């Protein structure tokens, strides 16, 4: 009984998510650095602003996050360029 | 090491070295001016807090767990990276120093990174991606995700991982070989017979754990990630345990060399800034399930042996909302969080328990990674009365 409630709650939630996100179908690779930054860098922690690190430091951090999070190479490059340019 | 793992490892090496060779040669021709420069960042976090537990006369309060965790990250060249973290924690009787992780990473191509060393377990998302105090939105960790976790928290071995674009979706994966868990047989801690110990520096057998996770992000805005993880390993070794069995009035031997363990985890994350609620909605959850093959353990007090169905499960769901789009400079830094977690370990074991916990939290973010957390937490252990607690924590990343 409890399992069925949990299951239907999950299915309903998934349905709602697809409804909210259904209209977005841009290819990830076509997105800009700033868009990728705001999409991705809020998923686990608050997104850091570009002023937090120097361009050189961003290179190390971007590599760290690429490996830890499993970001694609293109995403990582674009986000890193966006953060480095803000300095 | 058995033949299967050996073949897996050598194949992995063969593929990786050839891919790396290809990759570096193409990069040498089009490398930019500063490639190869070492980039170093000293980062990390520190935290401290206070705990008030119990009700009425039984109430106790203490300035709580305090920790400091420096993290060293190096980008040594275009495709070589190192990360290392040491954690100093003041808890219980004294200072606990732990090498949380130390691993070398080699980016072999667009889709593959190979790393070796001690790393946070890619099994599920909590240990690897959400546990640091400045990321965890609650003071406590969910039941079964703290120390003595259900499922692995760290591995010593090799890990192949990467991110793969799939048009408007994407995925990421991790496949690791590690020392894996050690089965506690009750010789040292009688009450822990049948438990698994993770993050082992030296393995107790030639078998290696094989595990991995696949994460899938269906939407192009990366808001949703669903992950599935699995791990299989042998927990025991060839040592037999002898004990006096009253029933046969003779010495009895217990064997554990074939005792296998199978674990799986499901995880979910949905994070999105939504204009109509003027803020960010963050939903997270994970379910861990660990099954250890049935085995006999010695009860040294009764001089008998016993066995039980060895399945442990824990899960949590967490919902957070931060109105970060509000103009008000105070309220846009606040965050409301609710979390429910549950843990069930084998009833007939000496460590079996059934616990549930509800935590409500209010956070104030002084910066992107400095936070003050106020939690109210109710823990229910089996049929016992519920145990309330107030937890306060200050955390700052640097």
What's the domain range around A43? 26-85
Q: With helix as H, strand as E and coil as C, how does B153-168 read?
A: CEEEEEEEEEEEEECC
**Which chain A residue has its CA at the smallest distance from B270's CA?**
A43
Within-domain flag for A67: yes
**Which chain A residue has its CA at the smallest distance from B168's CA?**
A27
Number of separate helices (H) and strands (E) present in chain B: 1, 23
Return d(Cα B266, Cα B282) in angstroms, integer: 17
| Minimum distance, in Å, between the CA of residue A73 and any CA atom of chain B | 6
Within-domain flag for A78: yes
Hey, are the CB atoms on A21 and B221 less than 8 Å from each other? yes
What's the domain range around B145? 117-397
Return d(Cα B243, Cα B303) in angstroms, integer: 8
**Beta carbon pairs, A and B, within 8 Å:** 119
Hey, are the CB atoms on A74 and B174 less than 8 Å from each other? no
Within-domain flag for A56: yes
Return d(Cα B342, Cα B216) in angstroms, integer: 25
Q: Which two tokens stand for residue A69?
A: 């999070």
Segment 338-357 of chain B within 8 Å of chain A by CB: none
Q: DSSP letter string over B36-84?
A: T--EEEEEEEEEEEEEEESSGGG-EEEE--EEEEEEEEEEEETTEEEEE
Task: Spell B10-24 as b/e; 16+ CB within 10 A means b.
Answer: eebeeebeebbeebe
In CATH, what number is assigned to the domain containing residue B219?
2.40.160
A21 reaches B (C-beta below 8 A): yes
Within-domain flag for A47: yes
A41 reaches B (C-beta below 8 A): no
Element (H, E) at B9: helix B3-30
Mutate to test the interface with A, among B219, B225, B286 (most CBs of A within 10 A): B219
Q: DSSP letter string over B251-288?
A: EEEE--TT-EEEEEEEEEEEEEEEGGGTEEEEEEEEEE
B26 reaches A (C-beta below 8 A): no
Q: DSSP letter string over A5-53?
A: HHHHHHHHHHHHHHHHHTT----GGGS-HHHHHHHHTTSSSPPPPGGGS
Hey, are the CB atoms on B273 and A25 less than 8 Å from each other? no
pLDDT computed for residue B202 by the predictor: 87
Tens digit of pLDDT at every position of chain A (87 positions): 566 776 777 777 766 666 666 555 678 889 999 999 999 999 999 999 999 999 999 999 999 999 999 999 999 999 999 999 986
Q: CA B238: distance to chain centroid?
A: 29
Segment 116-135 of chain B within 8 Å of chain A by CB: 128-130, 134-135
Provide, as residue numbers in chain A, all residues whose Cβ is less than 8 Å from the Cβ of B159.
none
Return d(Cα B268, Cα A23) in angstroms, integer: 21
Mutate to test the interface with A, among B41, B84, B129 (most CBs of A within 10 A): B41
Provide, as residue numbers in chain B, all residues whose Cβ is less than 8 Å from the Cβ of A17.
223-224, 270
B75 reaches A (C-beta below 8 A): yes
A1 reaches B (C-beta below 8 A): no
| Contacting residues for B167 by C-beta, under 8 A, at least 6 apart | A27, A28
A69 reaches B (C-beta below 8 A): yes
Within-domain flag for A2: no
Within-domain flag for B14: no
Return d(Cα B308, Cα B1) in angstroms, integer: 29
Within-domain flag for A4: no
Q: Which two tokens stand for residue B261?
A: 């363990």
Q: Where are the alpha helices (DSSP H) in B178-237?
A: none
Mutate to test the interface with B, among A70, A79, A84 (most CBs of B within 10 A): A70
Tens digit of pLDDT at every position of chain B (398 positions): 555 555 655 665 555 555 554 444 434 333 343 445 789 999 999 999 999 988 888 888 888 789 999 999 999 999 999 999 999 999 877 899 999 999 999 999 999 999 999 999 999 999 999 999 999 999 999 999 987 789 999 999 999 999 999 999 999 999 999 999 999 998 888 899 999 999 888 888 888 999 999 999 999 999 999 999 999 999 988 888 888 888 888 888 899 988 999 999 999 999 999 999 999 999 999 999 999 999 999 988 888 999 999 999 999 999 999 999 999 999 999 999 999 999 999 999 999 999 999 999 999 999 999 999 999 999 999 878 899 999 999 999 99
Within-domain flag for B3: no
Hey, are the CB atoms on A21 and B219 less than 8 Å from each other? yes
Hey, are the CB atoms on A60 and B39 less than 8 Å from each other? yes
Segment 158-177 of chain B within 8 Å of chain A by CB: 161-165, 167-170, 172-174
How many folded domains does chain B comprise? 1
Element (H, E) at B14: helix B3-30
Within-domain flag for A9: no
Q: Are B389 and B52 in contact (CB under 8 A)?
A: yes
Hey, are the CB atoms on B220 and A26 less than 8 Å from each other? yes
Q: Which two tokens stand for residue B20?
A: 């790396």
Q: Which two tokens stand for residue B228?
A: 């599935």
A56 reaches B (C-beta below 8 A): yes
Distances (CA, A) of B119 to A32, B83, B192, B203, B273: 32, 9, 25, 16, 31
How many folded domains does chain A comprise? 1
**Which chain B residue has its CA at the smallest distance from A21's CA?**
B219
Within-domain flag for B98: no
A7 reaches B (C-beta below 8 A): no
DSSP code at position B250: E
Collapse the DSSP code of B194 into the 3-class scheme (helix H, G, I; strand E, B; otherwise coil) and give the result: coil
The complex's ipTM? 0.89
Counting other chains too, the contacts that B95-104 makes at CB distance below 8 Å and 24 or more residues apart are B100/B69, B100/B154, B101/B154, B103/B159, B104/B80
Tell me the HSE value of B327 on the side-chain side, using a 13 A CA sphere: 0
């Amino acid at each position: 009984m409890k399992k069925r409630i949990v299951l239907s709650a999950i299915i309903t939630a998934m349905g709602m998510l697809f409804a909210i996100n259904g209209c977005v179908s841009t290819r990830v690779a076509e997105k800009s650095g700033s868009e990728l930054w705001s999409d991705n860098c809020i998923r686990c922690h608050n997104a850091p602003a570009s002023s937090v690190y120097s361009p050189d430091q961003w290179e190390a951090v971007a590599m760290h996050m690429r490996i830890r999070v499993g970001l694609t190479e293109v995403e990582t490059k674009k986000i890193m360029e966006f953060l480095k340019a803000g300095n | 090491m058995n033949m299967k793992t050996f073949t897996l490892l050598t194949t992995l090496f063969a593929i990786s070295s050839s891919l790396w060779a290809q990759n570096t040669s193409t990069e040498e021709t089009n490398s930019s001016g500063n490639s190869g420069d070492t980039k170093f960042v000293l980062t990390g976090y520190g935290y401290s807090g206070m705990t008030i537990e119990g009700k009425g006369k039984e109430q106790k309060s203490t300035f709580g767990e305090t920790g400091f965790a420096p993290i060293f990250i190096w980008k040594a060249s275009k495709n070589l990276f190192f990360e290392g973290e040491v954690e100093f924690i003041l808890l219980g009787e004294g200072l606990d120093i732990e090498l949380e992780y130390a691993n070398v990473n080699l980016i072999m191509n667009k889709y593959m990174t190979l790393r070796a060393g001690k790393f946070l377990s890619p099994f599920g998302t909590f240990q690897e991606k959400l546990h640091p105090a400045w990321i965890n939105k609650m003071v406590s960790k969910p039941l079964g995700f703290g120390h003595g976790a259900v499922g692995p928290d760290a591995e010593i071995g090799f890990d192949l991982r990467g991110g793969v674009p799939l048009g408007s979706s994407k995925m990421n994966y991790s496949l690791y070989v590690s020392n894996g868990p050690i089965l506690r047989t009750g010789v040292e801690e009688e009450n822990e017979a049948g438990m698994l110990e993770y993050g082992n520096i030296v393995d107790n057998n030639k078998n290696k754990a094989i595990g991995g996770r696949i994460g899938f992000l269906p939407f192009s805005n990366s808001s949703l990630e669903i992950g599935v993880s699995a791990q299989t390993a042998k927990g025991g070794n060839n040592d037999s345990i002898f004990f006096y069995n009253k029933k046969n009035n003779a010495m009895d031997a217990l064997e554990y060399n074939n005792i296998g363990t199978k674990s799986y985890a499901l995880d979910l994350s949905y994070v999105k800034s939504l204009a109509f609620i003027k803020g960010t909605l963050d939903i997270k959850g994970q379910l861990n399930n660990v099954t250890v093959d049935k085995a006999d353990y010695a009860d040294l007090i009764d001089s008998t042996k016993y066995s039980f169905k060895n399945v442990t499960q824990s899960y949590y769901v967490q919902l957070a909302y931060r109105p970060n789009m509000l103009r008000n400079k105070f309220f846009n830094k606040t965050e409301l969080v609710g979390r429910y977690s549950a843990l069930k370990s084998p009833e007939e074991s000496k460590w079996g328990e059934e616990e549930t916990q509800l935590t409500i939290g209010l956070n104030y973010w002084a910066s992107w990674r400095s936070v003050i957390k106020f939690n109210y937490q109710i823990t229910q252990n089996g049929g016992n009365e519920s145990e309330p607690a107030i937890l306060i924590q200050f955390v700052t990343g640097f």
